[in-house]
Amino acid sequence: MKIGRFKSNDRSFFGLIKGKEIVPIKETKVSELMDSITPTEDVLSFSEVKFLSPTRPSKIVAVGLNYKAHAEEMGKPLPEEPLLFMKPSTAVIANKMKIFLPEMSQRVDYEGELAVIIGRKCRKVTPKDVPNYILGYSCFNDVTARDLQQKDVQYTRAKSFDTFAPYGPWIATSIDPLSLKITTRINGEIKQQGQTSDMIFSPFELVSFISQVMTLLPGDVVITGTPPGIGPLKEGDKVEVEIEGIGTLINYVAKERR
């Protein structure tokens, strides 16, 4: 099942994806999506709606260097435990929206990633129990000001600019996240290609680890690291993050608005 969030006639709503059509769900909260879903009798086409981010997360918890090949690419040793950082909710944009390049940075990179969407309040959960708290999975682009990341050492500024968290196009439930192909394309050319099986820490281990530190709330997003092949974005680029079993997140790149 695939669940998205959309806007039509000034009303936002969740909907089920049926091919290239959307069946709106009767008004519900993110916290209720794992319990019951009641479709309406309406059917809308993609052209009739605006895509919204699948949820409005209170926080995005990210993991650095979680692919063996990416750690090698960056010339860094494999971490002994997950390396956590955060992105603000204000950085979130949806499918088909623009990533703006900030004047403060001279190099902004793409990072295609698998996103884990939390469906129930999650605190101090074991890896074995984590699936009971996951609503589903989505595509994410952990956009990064690489020069500022190297300058600052810590990641906050480099990861937090407005529009630096493209997320969508929807959530796929009931898929196995342990062996999915991730592909990032720039203007149709493949730049990243990897398998989630190359992760150092699985999505279940990551959510469990994070839940020992902080409470994860319904709608929160955990992004699980990027495969090798990161590189810069430029004005006019079309960026696609495609994940097997989920779909393709599409965004466009523009200069920062004044």
DSSP 18-35: ETTEEEEBPS--GGGTTT
- How much is the pTM? 0.96
Query: What's residue 214's pLDDT?
Result: 98
Query: What's residue 7's pLDDT?
Result: 96
Query: What's residue 97's pLDDT?
Result: 98
Cα 209 from chain centre: 18
| Cβ–Cβ under 8 Å, residues 219 and 154 | no
Query: What's residue 35's pLDDT?
Result: 87
Cα 100 from chain centre: 17
Reduced 3-state DSSP string for 184-247: EEECCEEEEEEEHHHECCCHHHHHHHHHHHCCECCCCEEECCCCCCCEECCCCCEEEEEECCCE
Query: What's residue 251's pLDDT?
Result: 98
Segment (H or E) for 158 = helix 156-159
Question: Which residue from 136, 127, 111 is spatially nearest to 30, judged by alpha carbons?
Answer: 136
Task: Classify residue 135 by burial, with Cβ atoms within 10 Å: 0-12, 13-18, 19+.
Answer: buried
| Residues in a beta bridge with 199 | 67
- The residue type of 92 is V
**Structure-derived torsion over alpha carbons of residues 229, 144, 225, 114, reported in degrees to the nearest 10:** -90
Which tokens go with 91?
A: 């950085």
Query: What's residue 44's pLDDT?
Result: 95
Query: What's residue 168's pLDDT?
Result: 98
Beta carbons within 10 angstroms of residue 198's beta carbon: 16
Question: Cα separation of 244 and 221, whole Å?
Answer: 19
- List, for residues 179-237, the tens digit of each pLDDT value: 999 999 999 999 999 999 999 999 999 999 999 999 999 999 999 999 999 999 999 99
Low-confidence ranges of the chain (pLDDT < 70): none
